[in-house]
Each structure stands twice: as C-alpha cells, then as structure tokens.
C-alpha cells in the first residue's frame, strides 16, 4: 500500500459567512463548521486511505475564523507547515492559535513554520506583532518552486495575484506532487499576475480552489466573479469594461512593490509587463481562468454574493443552486473539460 495525498476543505467561507444578526441562504448557520473561513489541508497519509490516525504530514493553507475548531475536531494535530495566500483576517485569524499550540506543546522549543511572500508576512506582523517571536517565517518568491522543510513528495510555487491595492503580496499557491499532479489555491483575487510561460506550468491542474465571491463582476470588490457578463446580457459587464478602461498593468503590480531590489521579483514582473498590453487581456472571471488554464476540477469557494445583490439585483443562492447554475453557464460558455464543484466543509479529495 503506497502513501497518498489528500486535500481537505477545513472551511469554505468568505470573510463573514453569516453576519451576526443576519442570515445566509448559502451557509448553514446551525453548523459551526460551515461558518469557517476558506482553509485547506494537504495531507499525506501513510496508507492509501484517508485516515485521521495515519496522517504523516499536513500543510495548512490559510487559517481564518473557525478553522482551528474544525482542525481540533478533525484529527487534532499541529500542521507541519502553514502557507498563507494573503494577510486578510479571514485568512490569518487562526494563525495565533496554531503558532501558540506549537510553541507551548513543545515547551517553547519549537516555532511554527509559516510560508508566505515577504509582503504578506509584513502585513501579518503588523496585524499581530507578537507572532514574530513564535513563527519561523520562510519567504516565497514569485514563480520560484521550493520544497517545504521536512515534507516529502510535494513542491510549492507562489504566483502573485491582484486582490486590491491594500492586499500586499497576495499570491496563489500551486502545489506539485511527485506524480506531477497540481493542486492550486487562488486565495482571494480579482485576477492573476502570470507571465505567459507560468500559465503553461499550471495548465491542467487536477484540483483548483478558486475565489468565487460573486457570480457576476464587480471589480471594485477586488474579487473575481464566476462569469464575466451581467445577468441582463451575455456580453461583458459594464462594471468590468469600466475597470478595463481605468486600471493599468502597473496599477495591478503596485501592491507587490518591495522597498528593496530583488532580482527574482524584478525579472518576474518585467516579464509580465512584456507579455501583456492591457488589463483586459487578463482573466477576470472564473470562466476565463478555466478557459486559459484548463483545470480538471474547479472548486468554488469563498462565496458571498453580496455584490450580486447590490449591483446586479441577482439573488444570493444556495450550494446546490450555485453548482447547477455554474455548470449550466459553463456549457453556454463552451467550457467542456472542466468539472465545476461547490465543496462542503469537511470534504476530502484524493490527488
Ligand atoms: Zn477572504
Ligand atoms: Zn482577502
């Protein structure tokens, strides 16, 4: 029996799945785990079945509200590493709990390893200054593949994304297994910042977990949408075409600007600027991202639908409706090879 790799959904929520005093047609308010923010674990098991008592290693991707109660109730072990897409609180609020667990349960002899871009780490240190002393930070550089310390069988590459001018250093995370299968977590993003040769590297990913904050475009939310058009017509939405008029490629890369020169950063963004002429050439919807990168299974997470309601008069729908609606629109949009899925919290995928 060989070892196997699994991805577990520890949470699928956007920043506030259910507002206190509010309600949601998507998230189950009576289930505490369904209130968890988007968070995932890549788990290696000693056998080829997913068993909580046979976990060999675990990489935790993001840790927002309620991710830690989920982890305590599902295996209750400290991950070998944490990797962050960006610093926003709905992706990092649980980090203190993980780091303190590692620190105290090792009698203050071990620090939690946290991988992120330098600018995400700066954001985390500003938000939670005490964490600097109990975290062993490892920097991710754009497009540079690394192995994670002490974790066999998997490599990690971070690629910058645009998620608003204040989301400094936000990145998508691409994990490659020894069987050359790819698992991609976009984190929150309006659009990726990918030179063309990097697109080739993520093409055909086995599993993608993608920011699906809304069904229809509202670029000023700094999140992407499932489709690029508005409910009223099937051409590009006016919100998106207005954005294409106003935004520039330099504006998109500005949140990644470092205060000191780094040759890897410089080369990466120079190549990106050489490859494109306008923001409109970048995929701003999940469908355009799917057409460009041809993933096998695309999991929609981080749904909220608030901007759909406010700017498109489109209702907030439930899990089953989102999956059905997406599959139907994908057919109309001529996407044939990608399977769309709305995962539940606790779902486990074998890679
Ligand atoms: Zn978020
Ligand atoms: Zn965010």
The closest ligand to the CA of 211 turns out to be: 1
| 147 Cβ contact partners less than 8 Å away, ≥ 6 residues apart | 154, 155, 156
Distance 169 CA to ligand 1 centre (A): 14
Ligand 2 mean position, distance from CA 86 (Å): 7
Q: Which domain holds residue 132?
A: 4-350
State the pLDDT at residue 2.
57
Overall domain count for the chain: 1
Global pTM reads 0.97
Predicted pLDDT of residue 47: 87
Ligand closest to Cα of 86 equals: 2
Residues within 5 Å of ion ligand 1, judged at the Cβ atom? 90, 188
Ligand 2 centroid vs 28 CA: distance in angstroms?
Answer: 22
Tell me if 167 sits within 8 A of 87, measured CB to CB: yes
**pLDDT of the chain along its 351 residues, tens only?**
456 899 999 999 999 999 999 999 999 999 989 999 999 999 999 988 999 999 999 999 999 999 999 999 999 999 999 999 999 999 999 999 999 999 999 999 999 999 999 999 999 999 999 999 999 999 999 999 999 999 999 999 999 999 999 999 999 999 999 999 999 999 999 999 999 999 999 999 999 999 999 999 999 999 999 999 999 887 889 999 999 999 999 999 999 999 899 999 999 999 999 999 999 999 999 999 999 999 999 999 999 999 999 999 999 999 999 999 999 999 999 999 999 999 999 999 999
**Cα(37) to centroid(ligand 2), Å:** 11
Can you give the pLDDT at residue 1? 45
State in Å: Cα 162 to ligand 1 middle.
13
pLDDT of 101: 98
CB count in 10 Å sphere of residue 275: 15
CA of 88 to the centre of ligand 2 (A): 5
Of the listed ligands, the closest to the CA of 15 is 1
CATH number at residue 49: 3.60.15.10
Q: Both ends of the chain: CA-CA distance in Å?
A: 16
Cβ burial 139-154 (10 Å sphere, 16+ → b, else e): ebbbbeeeebeebebb
Task: Please identify every residue whose CB atom is under 5 Å from ligand 2, which is an ion.
Answer: 88, 188
Which ligand neighbours the alpha carbon of 303 most closely?
A: 1
């Amino acid at each position: 029996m060989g070892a196997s790799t699994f991805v577990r959904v520890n949470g699928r929520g956007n920043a506030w799945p259910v507002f206190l005093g509010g309600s949601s047609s998507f998230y189950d308010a009576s289930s505490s785990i369904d209130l968890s923010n988007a968070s995932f674990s890549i788990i290696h098991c000693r056998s080829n079945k997913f068993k909580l008592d046979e976990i060999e290693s675990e990489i935790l991707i993001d840790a927002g509200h309620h991710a830690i109660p989920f982890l305590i109730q599902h295996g209750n072990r400290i991950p070998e590493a944490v990797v962050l897409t960006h610093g926003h609180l709905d992706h990092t609020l649980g980090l203190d709990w993980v780091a303190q667990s590692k620190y105290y349960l090792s009698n203050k002899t071990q620090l939690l390893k946290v991988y992120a871009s330098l600018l995400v780490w700066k954001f985390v240190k500003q938000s939670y200054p005490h964490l600097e002393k109990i975290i062993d930070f490892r920097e991710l550089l754009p497009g540079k593949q690394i192995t994670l310390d002490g974790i066999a069988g998997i490599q990690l590459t971070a690629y910058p994304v645009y998620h608003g001018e204040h989301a400094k250093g936000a990145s998508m995370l691409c994990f490659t297994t020894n069987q050359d299968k790819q698992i991609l977590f976009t984190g929150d993003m309006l659009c990726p910042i990918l030179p063309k040769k990097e697109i080739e590297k993520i093409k055909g990913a086995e599993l993608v977990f993608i920011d699906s904050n809304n069904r229809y475009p509202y670029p000023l939310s700094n999140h992407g949408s499932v489709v690029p058009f508005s409910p009223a017509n099937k051409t590009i939405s006016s919100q998106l075409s207005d954005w294409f008029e106003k935004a520039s490629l330099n504006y998109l890369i500005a949140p990644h600007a470092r205060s000191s020169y780094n040759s890897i950063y410089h080369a990466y963004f120079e190549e990106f600027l050489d490859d494109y002429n306008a923001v409109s050439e970048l995929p701003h919807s999940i469908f355009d991202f799917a057409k460009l990168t041809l993933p096998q299974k695309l999991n929609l997470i981080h749904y909220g639908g608030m901007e759909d309601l406010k700017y498109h008069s489109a209702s907030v729908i439930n899990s089953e409706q989102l999956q059905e609606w997406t599959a139907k629109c994908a057919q109309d949009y001529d996407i044939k090879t990608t399977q769309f899925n709305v995962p539940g919290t606790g779902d486990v995928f074998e890679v």
